[in-house]
Amino acid sequence: MTAVYATPTPINAWNCDHAPGNGILSSIKKCGALLPSLGVSGSGSDTSGQIVLQGFSYLAGQAVSVLICGYDCGDYTVDTYGQVTVPLGSSTITAAELLTANDPGAYGDAEACIWLTVSSVVNEIYVPVVIGSAYSSQGQMLRPLMTQGLSESGPALGMTRRSHMFAMHLVNVSQIQVGTSFSDLYAVSLQSSDGVTIAAGTSYSGVVWGTLADDYSFDSMFCWQINRPFAAIVVSVNVFVEAQER
């Protein structure tokens, strides 16, 4: 885990990568269980409209998620030869995007060599490819018990409360969902300072805020989820809560 700040940020929460409890975490890093593509190679062409990645015999018959150059290319089944066939196109990744990302030696363990034929010209390109089994990564705030502005008459245990707004400091996040129940989440709009939604294959760093659809209850525990294989760091979270006095 890479610390974002030298001073730990207190987060009263649980998440799937740490034991539940009231902890002090320097950062919460969430990512799918994807394996670096060591020794992976591939080939493809603009005429066939696909690329075939090789080197996954140990995953034969399994469904895997595929990330190429930071683009979520979807889920596929590894064939008996350890190959994964990914179509080229706007919904996955284009031949032009592969050529643009070519940078030998720049991608470490995730680097794969692909022989890509474009307009009858064979190009040896080196791009990041990550393939593996994705899972949903979740985090949730614990219910507040002390007042801290929540109640004027003492501890808030036994008082119904409602979370109506949230703020999050995020680092390198491509997508994230929030809510007060994992059964009712909605996607956070990640936008640049000028209000433009971030492009596919890119990530957002900064503070986001928004409103929450929540009813009064004894819980009202803010939660978040990343359900595709993207890395995400949640640095800090603030939730605006209203309580009903007894």
Domain 9-31+135-243 part of CATH 2.60.120: yes
Beta-carbon contacts of 197 under 8 Å, excluding residues fewer than 6 positions away, are: 189, 190, 191
Residue 150 has pLDDT above 60, yes or no: no
Q: Is 21 left (phi over 0), alpha (psi -120 to 50) or beta?
A: left
Is residue 12 predicted with pLDDT exceeding 60? no
Q: How confident is the model at residue 195 (pLDDT cuts 50, 70, 90)?
A: confident
The residue ranking higher by pLDDT, 39 or 27, is 39
Q: What is the DSSP string of 1-50?
A: ---SSSSPEEE-EEETTB-SSSEEES-EEE---EEE-TT-EEEEETTTTE
Residue 200: pLDDT band by 50, 70, 90 thresholds?
confident
Task: Report CA-CA distances (Å) from 205 to 171, 175, 191, 210.
Answer: 4, 11, 10, 16
First CA to last CA across the chain, in angstroms? Answer: 43
Query: Which pLDDT does position 177 carry in this prediction?
Result: 94
Question: Residues 162-175: what's their mean pLDDT?
Answer: 91
- More confident of the two residues 26 and 41: 41
Task: Kindly list the strands in the beta sheet with 177-179, ordered across the sheet, starting from the edge strand earlier in the chain.
Answer: 13-15, 137-141, 223-226, 177-179, 186-187
What pLDDT is attached to residue 20? 33
Report the pLDDT value the prediction gives residue 196, as an integer from 0 to 100: 86
The bridge status of strand 111-118 relative to strand 41-45 is parallel
Compute the Cα dihedral for 47, 49, 54, 58 and give only its sign: negative
Residues with Cβ < 8 Å from 195, sequence gap 6 or more? Answer: none
For residue 97, the tally of other CB atoms under 10 A from its CB is: 18
> Which of 2-16, 95-109, 190-204, 220-234 is least confident?
2-16
- The domain segmentation of the chain, as residue ranges, is 9-31+135-243, 34-132
Whether the pLDDT of residue 156 is over 70: the answer is no
CA distance 156 to 133: 42
- Give the pLDDT of residue 139: 92
Residue 188, SS3 per DSSP? coil
H or E element at residue 158: none
In the prediction, which pLDDT does 6 show? 29
Please name the residue that has the structure tokens 């990914």: 86
pLDDT of residue 110: 86
